[in-house]
Amino acid sequence: MTETIALLYFWLKSAHIIFVIFWMAGLFMLPRFFVYHQESPQGSEEESRWVERERRLVRIILNPAMIIVWIVGLLLTWHIGAFSEGWFHLKLLAVLGLSAYHGWMVGYSKKLAAGERPLEGKKLRILNEVPGIAAAVIVILVVAKPF
């Protein structure tokens, strides 16, 4: 298996980056969808369209992208032996946090679909910054490997 991963290393690395981009795009889009969803009248046709858009974004882009990012990322980590690197521990913590954020967003979409609107638009707009901050931290850790 190690030889196969070595032969496919650059393809796997490319796939990892591509699916990180898909995942991040979805994480940026979903809270924006929530803002628009919450601004639509409850029980309206517009609201039902937002519910469907959110469901599709989660099912077609977010969940598959996150799963592929994790699988390929762990394969690459194992192949290069990064489990013992300090920078990787912090990166892993950031990716776990991003995954928890993903889970929270999916849960929030279910609340919205059920007619609940627990957060105001301003808080959702602030939460929209979480993936950008996480991405900046992760990229610095992977590229600069500061420790």
Q: Where are the domains of the chain?
A: 2-144
Point out the annotated binding site: 16, 91
- Quickly state the pLDDT bin for 1 (edges 50, 70, 90): confident
12-24 residue pLDDT tens = 999 999 999 999 9
Rounded Cα distance, 10 and 30, in Å? 30
Mean pLDDT (whole number) for 100-125: 95
pTM (2 d.p.): 0.93
| Nearest of 15, 134, 133, 117 to residue 72 by alpha carbon | 15
63-95 residue pLDDT tens = 999 999 999 999 999 999 999 999 999 999 999
Point out the annotated binding site for heme: 16, 91
pLDDT of residue 2: 80
